[in-house]
Amino acid sequence: MTRLKNEVAIITGGAGDIGSAHVESFVREGANVIIADINEEKGNLIAKENSSFSSENKVKYVHLNSTDEESWKKLSSKTIEEFGKISILVNCYGTNFREKFINQNLENWNTILNVNLTSVFIGIKELIPFFKLSGKGSIINIGSLASLKGSASSPAYTASKTGLIGLTKSTAVAFAKDKIRCNLVCPGHVDTNFIRNDSDYSPNDWNTSINNPENYNQRLSQIPLGRLQTPKDIANLSTFLASEDSNMITGGIIAVDGGVTI
């Protein structure tokens, strides 16, 4: 499969569960990939693992602090130095401090908004000139169920992920004339280490740990299609959105949630 042959993709958060699934999918489809992440050890490991899939395309790790403009500049510079162009960006990272609305700490609020929303803007702004030089671009922002519904215990996270809707649509409108597309993918209950380690359980809140069988079954009961999503489910959609198969799709807000938000 070579839907992404000769493309150069930056996958931020590429060392995470969902991000690393994107790396594998993109490499298998022929893309050269930069894994941009703050976790150097895991980023290099994933780059090494994925380098075995193909002798024709490359996978490299580059350190990224997503909230730092200079770090983004170094990322773009190293990518151009290595591959000569940038044509795809996947923003696949986030943070959260789970606090009830009335107890929301302002410092934590600002941190969450900075990481989950402001840094995505910084990255897009930095890379737009390189997409223009390439003659096209596909930007894929990874949101959440929280982009589409509220959560009583995560007001800041919900605000940040909802904000990605506006940023995605604004980006799509602003740069359509340059053949730069921007879409938002909203994963549902994805089986990752993040939710397996989320032990702050409330039976009325969808954001609960799945290590406990009660919590696992509670999540499943909310999913019409009857199973949790996998990181690969998310990466499959992003791969399509990165490819020319989706060249008339921009500004889309697409849920991969098994029907939770129907």
Q: Which of 61, 93, 157, 216 is catalytic?
A: 157
User: CB count, 10 Å around CB of 246?
Assistant: 18
Angle at Cα 225 formed by Cα 202 and Cα 14, nearest 5°? 70
Residue 157 is a catalytic residue? yes
Tokens linked to 151: 């959560």
Tokens linked to 84: 């000569």
Question: Looking at the DSSP assignment, which residues form a beta bridge with residue 61?
Answer: 35
Sequential DSSP letters for 137-204: EEEEEE--GGGTS--TT-HHHHHHHHHHHHHHHHHHHHHGGGTEEEEEEEE-SB-SHHHHT-----TT
User: CB count, 10 Å around CB of 220?
Assistant: 14
Contact predicate 142/234, CB 8 Å: yes
Contact predicate 62/32, CB 8 Å: no
C-alpha distances in Å from residue 54, one per residue of 14, 27, 48, 239: 18, 8, 11, 17
Give the largest CA-CA distance in the chain.
54
Which positions are annotated as active-site residues?
Answer: 157
